[in-house]
């Protein structure tokens, strides 16, 4: 049974339909990438899975259980954590307080402050500072750490590379490797296609709210990806 499965998932912003009939499945332990142009619905997809957007109950299944109608805070408790686009750290909290916020989901598991600081040693040195005083890369580490603190089975990462220098992006993706080595399942949304494909075993390409392509990342057909990405 897939850890995450969506069945004809549709999502709306008011009257505007942002997703049409999305069928995605993610196996336990897999890292799957979702790519697509701006406005293709990648972030909307993550928000729908995380419960930030209301959807029909049966359109999202987590571990076989329908979760489409659950609220965001209920879904975190079931084991889906989100690293939101733009990091969204809490500005009036210190770095450590931001990490501790992840424990409000009250899930037991391997991740705690000590483990997160082992993964990101810089954060231990910066832990007393207010979150906005960190650099972009450090903030991204804190946002990843905060999500890990909820001990997720499924980690949703929205644009980890956004606004970061290439060398910092490389570091972050190395850490992501350490996270998936723990058995955590990851869904990556990325604009940086080569980065996303390097880190994943399969990818889905979205185009204007619809699924355009689903393929393994090894030896995929570049022409097919180009066609799916640009809708040619």
Contacting residues toward another protein, per CB under 8 A? 50, 52, 71-73, 76-77, 82, 84, 88, 90-93, 97, 100-102, 104-106, 146, 150
Distance of alpha carbon 95 from alpha carbon 102, whole angstroms: 12
Pairing of strands 202-207, 185-190: unpaired
Least distance in Å: CB of 93 to another protein? 6
Residues 84, 65, 6, CA angle at the centre, nearest 5°?
55
Per the listing, tokens 């990325």 go with 190
Sheet holding 65-66, edge to edge: 16-26, 4-13, 60-62, 65-66
Least distance in Å: CB of 44 to another protein? 14
Coil, strand or helix at 152: coil
- Which of 29, 109 has the CB closer to another protein? 109
- Which of 35, 76 has the CB closer to another protein? 76
- Which of 57, 91 has the CB closer to another protein? 91
- Which of 52, 227 has the CB closer to another protein? 52
Least distance in Å: CB of 46 to another protein? 10
Least distance in Å: CB of 229 to another protein? 28
Alpha carbon distance, N-terminus to C-terminus of the chain: 34
- Which of 49, 211 has the CB closer to another protein? 49
Q: Cβ(154)–Cβ(187) under 8 Å?
A: yes
Nearest to 59, CA basis, from 17, 10, 7: 7
Least distance in Å: CB of 52 to another protein? 6
């Amino acid at each position: 049974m897939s850890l995450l499965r969506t069945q004809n998932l549709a999502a709306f912003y008011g009257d505007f339909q942002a997703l049409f009939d999305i069928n995605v499945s993610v196996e336990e332990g897999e890292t799957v990438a979702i790519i697509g142009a701006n406005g293709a619905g990648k972030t909307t997809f993550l928000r729908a899975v995380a419960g930030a957007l209301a959807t029909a109950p049966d359109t999202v299944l987590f571990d076989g259980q329908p979760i489409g109608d659950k609220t965001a805070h209920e879904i975190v408790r079931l084991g889906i954590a989100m690293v939101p686009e733009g990091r969204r750290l809490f500005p009036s909290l210190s770095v450590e307080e931001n990490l501790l916020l992840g424990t409000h989901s009250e899930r037991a598991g391997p991740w705690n402050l000590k483990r997160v600081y082992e993964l990101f040693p810089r954060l231990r040195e910066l832990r007393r500072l207010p979150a906005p005083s960190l650099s972009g890369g450090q903030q991204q580490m804190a946002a990843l750490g905060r999500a890990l603190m909820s001990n997720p089975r499924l980690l949703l990462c929205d644009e980890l590379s956004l606004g970061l220098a290439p060398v910092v992006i490389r570091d972050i993706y190395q850490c992501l490797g350490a996270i998936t080595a723990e058995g955590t399942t990851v869904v990556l949304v990325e604009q940086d296609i080569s980065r996303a494909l390097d880190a994943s075993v399969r990818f889905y390409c979205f185009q204007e709210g619809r699924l355009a392509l689903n393929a393994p990342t090894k030896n995929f057909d570049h022409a097919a990806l180009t066609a799916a990405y640009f809708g040619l």
